[in-house]
Amino acid sequence: TQNRVPEIGAMVYVLSLARKMKVLKVDASKAEVVVQASNMKLKLRLSDITF
């Protein structure tokens, strides 16, 4: 398991999409992040990204 959380504004790699996206919001208590690339915004689990 990942104990680290990304910083807001950091670029993370979204495994399911095989692309980098920017972190907009981090909810460590739920282990979720909101990421965006161009006009696509997603809420993902920390386990769905790598950084």
Structural domain spans, the chain: 1-41
In 1-51 the beta strands, taken as DSSP E runs, fall at: 11-14, 19-27, 32-37, 40-45, 49-50
What is the reported pLDDT for 4?
A: 87
Contacts of 17 (CB under 8 A, 6+ apart): none
1-51 pLDDT, tens digit each: 457 899 999 999 999 999 999 999 999 999 999 999 999 999 999 999 999
In terms of Cα–Cα distance, which of 9, 8, 10 is closest to 50?
10
Q: Residue 43's pLDDT is what?
A: 98
pLDDT for the residue numbered 1: 47
